Amino acid sequence: MNQSQAASSGGDFVGLTRLTRVRRNFNRPLLIAVFLLLAYGLFVLFSATSQDPQHTAFFWQIGFAAVGTGLAIWVALVDYHIWLKLAYPLYFIALILLLGVLLFAPEVFGAQRWLNIGPIPIQPSEIAKVAVILVLAKELSGSKDRERPFIRFLRALTLIILPMLLIYEQPDLGTSIVVLFLFFPMCSFAAIRPLYTFSFFGAILACTPLLWYFLRDYQRNRILVLLDPTIDPLGIGYNLRQALITIGSGGFLGKGYLQGSQKQLQFLPVRHTDFIFSVLAEELGFLGVTLLLSLYAALFLLVLRVAQQAEDEFGTLLVIGILGMWVCHVFINIGMNAGIMPVTGIWLPFFSYGGASTLINLLSVGIILSVSLHRRRFMFYPGA
């Protein structure tokens, strides 16, 4: 099926009102999994911000979640083929914003990631991730160059190179790696020969040692310190040791909600965002951690099912791209908390405090729900 057919047939369901269709086809389990994650995240965020008697971050996050849920439901009800039209405009806006960050943004913690548009701070790299998913899904499912698969592959590749470089320059190594790694599963699910995909990633892996020379000193330090925490006992070595003590001392059952003793040491400046996982691990222990990872497993498998059952290739690729992004984030974030990945500013989906990430994640949920909703296969007709 080509794109134009999909687009014209997407919203057309014979004999059923729109409302009935929404009711029958809405992916409730997926939305429930997302809500459970959000609620769990807020529960831990309250404790992570317990030194602020007003719990400012906690209440902001409730607001972000509420607005984001509204956004998700709105996006879910719109046929996802609208993103075919919006993909390139969004992609170019994202590129301009990324360029704007490099030229105008103030530095926070040594990196420029935020851009103020009027009073609203936005994080262009977050927009860029979704925009890249949209254009890749469009390109990889399109009819152009179907007979010349290698050219197709190269075209897709060029689409990720520019945003990756701009994000890397901020510098935000973590996010540029995420962009690279959502490319991999999307190619795998597209009509790209596995030979290209695998040889490209083989080449990337083979080039990793070369990458070392492009890293900044502090980035190299973050990697070296993983191998030998004693090299910088006062700097990040100290932070790493504290992070491990925080997680490790949680034990099996944890120290109890609000009882974390490592919190007051304040060795982690971003406890409620990138390191919120360590607060969870300390207070709720291995049990709490297992619950979180189980929720992620459930969510990811539900999302994967949506990808599998999507109406067309475009839908599948959208969902796979988003799923790739989330898996990558979970691995990098928990990995850095647990001392097996270098420290980068990567949020934990639905868990870390943050307006941009929460809204982008819930928008992505909306896209997935839309793909799940706007399909004919597996329609359930009672009594038929």
| Interface with other proteins, residue 257, by CB under 8 A | no
Segment contacting other proteins by CB under 8 A, of 92-100, 222-230, 256-264, 374-382: 256-264
Choosing from 117, 161, 293, 379, the residue that interacts with other proteins (CB under 8 A) is 293
| Interface with other proteins, residue 242, by CB under 8 A | yes
Please report which residue ranges of 105-148 form alpha helices under DSSP H: 124-141
- Sign for the pseudo-dihedral over CA of 375, 378, 380, 384: positive
- Residues 6 or more apart from 52 whose CB is under 8 A from it? none
Q: What tokens does 136 get? A: 């890749």
Identify which of residues 9 and 188 has a Cβ nearer to other proteins in the complex: 188
Q: Give φ, ψ of 120 to 5 degrees.
A: -95, 120
Cite the beta strand spans of 86-243 per DSSP E. Answer: 115-117, 120-122
Choosing from 15, 109, 264, 384, the residue that interacts with other proteins (CB under 8 A) is 264
| Interface with other proteins, residue 338, by CB under 8 A | yes
Compute and round to an integer the Cα radius of gyration of the chain.
21
| Interface with other proteins, residue 256, by CB under 8 A | no
| Interface with other proteins, residue 289, by CB under 8 A | yes
355-373 and 28-48 are packed helices; what angle lies between their axes, rounded to 10 degrees? 170
Q: How far is the CB of 35 from other proteins (least distance, A)?
A: 20
Nearest C-alpha neighbor of 359 from the set 5, 121, 186? 121
Q: What tokens does 333 get? A: 């974030």
Q: What tokens does 328 get? A: 């990558």
CA gap 43, 88 in Å, rounded: 38
Identify which of residues 105 and 247 has a Cβ nearer to other proteins in the complex: 247
CA gap 358, 335 in Å, rounded: 20
Helix (H, G, I), strand (E, B), or coil: what is residue 26?
A: coil
Contacts (CB under 8 A) with other proteins, residues 205-234: 233-234
Class of residue 7 by CB neighbours under 10 A (exposed 0-12, middle 13-18, buried 19+)? middle
| Interface with other proteins, residue 88, by CB under 8 A | no
Choosing from 22, 78, 204, 245, the residue that interacts with other proteins (CB under 8 A) is 245
| Interface with other proteins, residue 316, by CB under 8 A | yes
Identify which of residues 65 and 243 has a Cβ nearer to other proteins in the complex: 243
Upstream peptide bond of 171 is cis (omega within 30 degrees of 0): yes
| Interface with other proteins, residue 297, by CB under 8 A | yes
CA gap 201, 184 in Å, rounded: 8
Identify which of residues 252 and 378 has a Cβ nearer to other proteins in the complex: 252
Query: Do the Cβ atoms of 272 and 304 come closer than 8 Å?
Result: no
- Sign for the pseudo-dihedral over CA of 108, 111, 113, 119: positive
Helix (H, G, I), strand (E, B), or coil: what is residue 111?
A: strand
| Interface with other proteins, residue 40, by CB under 8 A | no
Q: How far is the CB of 137 from other proteins (least distance, A)?
A: 15
Choosing from 259, 340, 376, 379, the residue that interacts with other proteins (CB under 8 A) is 340
- With contacts defined by CB under 8 A, how many residues of the chain interact with other proteins? 47
Contacts (CB under 8 A) with other proteins, residues 163-192: 185, 188-189
Segment contacting other proteins by CB under 8 A, of 68-76, 93-101, 241-249, 364-372: 241-249
Contacts (CB under 8 A) with other proteins, residues 52-71: none
Q: How far is the CB of 200 from other proteins (least distance, A)?
A: 17
Residue span 121-160 as binding mask against other proteins, x where in contact by CB under 8 A, dash where not: ----------------------------------------
What are the residues binding other proteins (CB under 8 A)?
Answer: 185, 188-189, 194, 233-234, 238, 242, 244-252, 261-262, 264-265, 267, 281, 285-286, 289-290, 293, 296-297, 300-301, 304-305, 307-308, 316, 320, 323, 327, 330-331, 334-335, 338-340
